[in-house]
Amino acid sequence: MEAAMERTYKHLGPAVVLFLAILALSLLIAPELSGMDRLIFTEEITGTLSEGEIPVIPEPRYYASGINDSYSRLRSWGIKRGEKQGQLPTADPGAPELLAKYNSLYLADTDKKTIYLTFDEGYENGYTSKILDVLYENKVNAIFFITGPYLDKEDALVQRMLDEGHAVGNHTVHHKSLPLLDDKEIEEEVVELDRKFHQKYGRNMVFLRPPKGEYSERSLSITSKLGYVNVFWSFAYDDWSVNNQRGWEYAFKKVTDNLHNGAIILLHAVSRDNAEALDKIIEYARSAGYEFGDVFELEKYARGDG
C-alpha cells in the first residue's frame, strides 16, 4: 500500500508543479479583471447622500481611530433638496460653515443663474466619449473626478478632457473613505494620484472630491493644507447604479427639476441615462435662463478670490 502511494505521489509531483506553473503564467498574461473596478466603485455614493431625505446616523466603526470627537468624526455629505425648481437645497446644519473654513464648497454664487457640471469617474463604462462630445458641441466644460485605476487605464480619455478645456479632479487612488485613514494615509491617497497625473500630463490637480462624500474636519484640514479645494455638490441622484438605469427622460426630469442658482451638479459618467440626457439638459437649462460656468472659476470662489 505504501509503495503504491509513493509511486502515485512520484507521478503527481511533476504534474502539480506543471499545473502551478501554467496557472501562474496565465495570471501574469491574462487581462486585468474588468469587473474589479465595478466592484470597488459600486457605491459611489449612497442613496441617503444623493436623495437627502434620510438622516445619516454615524456608527461607532465610522469614527477614525475609535475616537468620537468632532474633529475626526466621519461626516456623510447630505442635502435636502428644494421643493421646487430654483429653490436652494439645505445642507446639514454647520456643514457650509465647516466647508468654508477649509476652502471647500458645495454651492457657487447663489446670486447668479450659473450651473457647474461635475462627473465622477470610478471606472469607464463606455459613455465618457459621448459625454465629451456633447460638452464640446455645447461649449460647456466640467470637472471630471478620476481615480487611480481610471488614470492608469484611460489615457486617451483623460488627454481629451485636458485638450478640450475640462478640469481633471482628484477622486483618490483607491476610493477609500478619507476619515477612516490616518493622516499619512490620507495624504498618500490624494498626493499619489496627483503625482502620477503630473508625471503623465505635466499638470497638477486642484479639485478634490472625497469618495462617497465622506469627510471629517480632519480630512478637510489635511487636504486643504495640501492645496486642494474639496468640491461637494448641491445636486446628485442615484445614477451610479448601472443595473438600475431608467431612461434618459428620468435623468432629464431629475436634473431639470432641481436646477438652482450656483448649482454644482454631480453626475456619474457610468450612467447611460446621463449620457443620453445631457444634451437635452443643457438645452433646457439655457432656455430657462441658466448659463454654464467655467469650472476653473470654482477655485477662486472657494478661496474667496472670486
- Which pLDDT score is estimated for 29? 39
Check if 194 is active-site.
Answer: no
Check if 120 is active-site.
Answer: yes
Domain ranges of the chain: 1-30, 35-302
CATH 3.20.20.370 given to domain 35-302: yes
Residue among 50, 101, 103 at smallest CA distance from 77: 50
Query: Which of the following is catalytic: 37, 166, 268, 279?
Result: 268
Residue among 199, 267, 269, 211 at smallest CA distance from 234: 267
Residue among 165, 139, 138 at smallest CA distance from 283: 138
Q: Per-residue pLDDT tens for 240-275?
A: 989 999 999 999 999 999 999 999 999 999 999 999
| Alpha carbons within 13 A on the beta-carbon side of 139 | 2
Query: Which of the following is catalytic: 37, 120, 194, 239?
Result: 120
Amino acid occupying residue 227: G
Q: Per-residue pLDDT tens for 45-94?
A: 443 444 444 344 444 444 444 455 789 989 999 889 998 899 999 998 99
Q: In tens digits, what is the pLDDT along the chain, a chain of 306 residues?
A: 555 545 544 555 555 445 545 444 444 433 343 455 554 555 554 434 444 443 444 444 444 444 557 899 899 998 899 988 999 999 989 999 999 999 999 999 999 999 999 999 999 999 999 999 999 999 999 999 999 999 999 999 999 999 999 999 999 999 999 999 999 999 999 999 999 999 999 999 999 999 999 999 999 999 999 999 999 999 999 999 899 999 999 999 999 999 999 999 999 999 999 999 999 999 999 999 999 999 999 999 999 885
- Which pLDDT score is estimated for 42? 52
